[in-house]
Structure 1
Amino acid sequence: MEVDFLLIGQGLAGTVLSHRLIQKGHSVHLIDDGDPNSSSKIAAGLYNPVTGRNLVKTWQADALFKEIEVFYREMEVLLNKKFVHPVGIYRPFVSYEEQNEWVAKSADPQFNDYIDQVFSQPRNQGVKDPFGGLLLKSTGYIDTRELVNGFSEWIKERNLLTTCVMSEKDLVQTQEGHWQFKDILAKKIVFANGIQARNNSFFDWIPFIPVKGEILTVKQDFFSSEIINRGVFRIDMGQGVGKVGSTYNNSEVNLSPTDAGKIEILDKLGQLIDREVIEILDHQVGIRPGIRDRLPVLGKHPSKDNVYLFGGFGAKGVSFMPYLSDQMVKLMVWGEEPHKEVNINRFFKYI
């Protein structure tokens, strides 16, 4: 079998990039280890243009957020699945100073597409917001498990997926510079396998930082038509069930749920929601593929022919990937370099 692109990893990155390539008329094949605990299948999938402790616009937010819902809705149609959930995000203020700051920002045109309303009084909806809060729009979440599993079914039906644990020694480069994996011959190979990309000699110099994240599913006598987000997020799943997280731990990186993670989430949830947790229904763990400077990394290997990396998306993969997958295709097909902030060449000094 001959293809244009062989993608290693069918998590969210491999799914989005391969779909983008197929959209553009290129042939692909994917290799995935089938890990049910991959971060893509556990992630909350939030997309939020105003983030961080200081509430600033995400890098390239205006470009990113034009793409998100359009791209994922196209995939919904393709897969005949529902995984796009546009929902407002409500963030309580912690002080009158923060409230005043956002009253001023609400008049700034650069926030027009993202601020729904600034509340100067508590909303009395079970949320602890004595100073009011900020309601954001152009926000929501993608059910990444539904998306990744749905795309897996779609490509399996077309014989575009091999499920196996790939070893680097299984890749053989031909005299023409193409790559052979078993009976698959690819013009180019792309590593989109998250934190696993650091386990091969091609990209072991990239400063990946694996970050462990824990998420709880809880039962509460609480309902909200919005995602509540301060310290932790709470996504309402209906019938008093909420998904709550997440922790950020780069010192103990494994897939074991911890009491410390559970206590941290419940403590922060208690500071956010004025309702007791009746029951913990689930406790999940994932490992995010972070990068030292907290931005993704994409580009061509500096010396290996036809070898590329598309990864390091951390907690913002859902937001970054639609826009950056387009940049990645332009690089691989036309040689157009991506933004310098995410370009792999910023790490060439580590080789």
Structure 2
Amino acid sequence: MTPTLIVGQGMAGSVLAWMLHQRGHQVRVIDDGHRTSSSRVAAGMVNPVQGQRLNLAWRIEDCLPVAQDFFREMEAKFGRRFFHTAPILRLIDNDKERDYLEQRRDDERFRPYLGNFEPAGSNSPLNDEFGGLQINHSGYVETNPLLDCLRDYFTDQGILCNAEFQHDELTVDDSHVQWRDISAERVIFAEGFRILQNPWFADFNFQPNKGEILTIASNHAFPDYPINRSKWIIPQPDGTAWCGSTYGRGQTDFEATNEGCAEILAKVAATLPTHTLSVVGQRVGVRCATGDHIPRAGFHPDHPRIGVFNGFGSKGNVFIPWLAQHLTEHLLTGAPLPEDCDFRARPPRKKRA
């Protein structure tokens, strides 16, 4: 009998499977080629300071060092670079953001992540009318090449089952779970927004969020560092840039829209006023978050053989390695999960109507 069955080989399922396998724990992964994985679409931003209020990401002091170590491990294993460290130039978008920045600069927790304030005109020809600053300890992850390498590795090791998972094919009893010809002690669902159709988790508050991303070309070279001013701009080796993203709360379709394209393009054009921009690609993914924006790991309160590893939203590259490390220890040694993200202790239940 297989100890652990994982559903999903996006970033969450891949990292968890890798960590368990490296500890000698037998694991099987079911995945249909990432057809619905937001990991395949995401730009892979690693940004410790987020949103208009310039808040620190959840548990960033804990999560970021573990993420950095994990990506270095992957680079050593597969002989190529995945994590590109680069300060993000955060351009302030309005007076309110500048007020938040002044508050954050007086907070000791923010000091490792906030560079010096750069007054308006410091980054010409960019539109920096409200000034800007560098966000330290940031960059981006090339998620597609990393997932390709892990997929090949899992295939070679006999870990990956390339199939579409249907929830009604899984049977659960007191002693094991069964999916087709695979018997396992437990199943961990790392299936992203498809958890919305999961019958064991229908009563919990997982929230989908559709995001569109553009690939843009320009008549001028893009700056060689990431920029964030309402929308982010990530230069690519071929001279294009990835730009985004939109936030379609509650939306689960994969249709690229003219509205999403126009929203992103208008913001990028406002940041790069001397550029003539053209769209050369548009892609769509659906993120999955929780109502309180804290990811969850662990087991269903009523079904001890059914687990979950989900709710990472747009911060998966930062959050996943740290929480996968804790879930691995929980599975192998019984170590407790951090209480704020322990699904059994704090299930994200839906609000009552």
Secondary structure of 2:341 counterpart: coil
Asked if structure 1 preserves the Cα contact closer than 8 Å seen for 2:83 and 2:140, the reply is: yes
For 1:347, the equivalent position in structure 2 comes to 347
CA distance in structure 2 between the aligned counterparts of 1:308 and 1:66, rounded to whole angstroms? 26
Distance 1:97 1:37 in 2: 37
* Superposition pairs of residues 155-304 of structure 1, within 5 angstroms: 155-173=154-172, 177-220=175-218, 221-304=220-303
Rounded to whole Å, the distance in 1 between the matches of 2:3 and 2:222 is 48
1:169 to partner: Cα distance: 3.2
Indicate how the Cα distance of structure 1 residues 117 and 306 shifts in structure 2: closer, same or farther if over 3 A, else same: same
Q: TM-score, normalised by structure 1?
A: 0.92
Give the number of equivalent residue pairs. Answer: 349
Q: CA deviation at 1:104?
A: 6.8
CA contact (8 A) 1:83 1:142 kept: yes
TM-score (norm 2): 0.91
| Alpha-carbon distance between aligned partners in 2 of 1:191 and 1:36, rounded to the nearest angstrom | 16
For 1:261 and 1:60, locate their aligned partners in 2 and report how far apart those are by CA, in whole Å: 31
The residue type paired with residue 317 of structure 1 is: G
Identical pairs, percent: 31
Change (3 A) 1:97 1:217: closer
Task: Summarize the Cα distance change of 1:68–1:275 in structure 2 as closer, same or farther, 3 Å threshold.
Answer: farther
Match of 1:86 in 2: 85
Equivalent residue of 1:238, what SS?
Answer: coil
Greater Cα shift, 260-269 or 249-258: 249-258
1:61-115 deviation line (CA, Å, top 9, x unaligned): 1111111211111012223332111111111124567557646744654233212
More displaced 10-residue stretch of structure 1: 114-123 or 188-197: 114-123
- What is the deviation of 1:251? 4.9
- Partner Cα separation in structure 1 for residue 341 and residue 75 of structure 2: 28
Alignment deviations for residues 236-291 of structure 1 (CA, whole Å, 9 cap, x no partner): 11353100000001254311100000000011112222233432110000011122
- Cα distance in 2 for partners of 1:157, 1:96 equals 54
**Secondary structure of the corresponding residue to residue 224 of structure 2:** coil
CA distance in 2 between counterparts of 1:335 and 1:198 reads 28
Q: Distance in 1 between matches of 2:189 and 2:155?
A: 19
Deviation at 1:195, TM superposition (A): 1.1
Aligned-partner Cα distance in 2 for 1:250–1:273? 27
The aligned amino acid for 2:20 is: L
Q: Which runs of 5+ in 1 are unaligned?
A: none
Whole-angstrom distance in 2 between the partners of 1:104 and 1:46: 24
| AA in 2 matched with 1:194 | G
Does the 8 Å contact 1:223/1:240 carry over to 2? yes
CA contact (8 A) 1:123 1:132 kept: yes
CA RMSD of aligned residues (A): 2.2
CA 1:40 to 1:104, structure 2 compared with 1: closer, same or farther past 3 Å?
closer
Cα contact 1:81–1:147 (8 A) shared by 2: no
Can you give the 5+ residue segments of structure 2 that lack an aligned partner in the other structure? none
**Post-superposition shift, 1:336?**
3.3
Deviation at 1:25, TM superposition (A): 2.2
SS at match of 1:40: helix
Give the distance between the partners of 2:238 and 2:122, measured in 1 at CA: 21
Query: 1:265 aligns to what SS in structure 2?
Result: helix
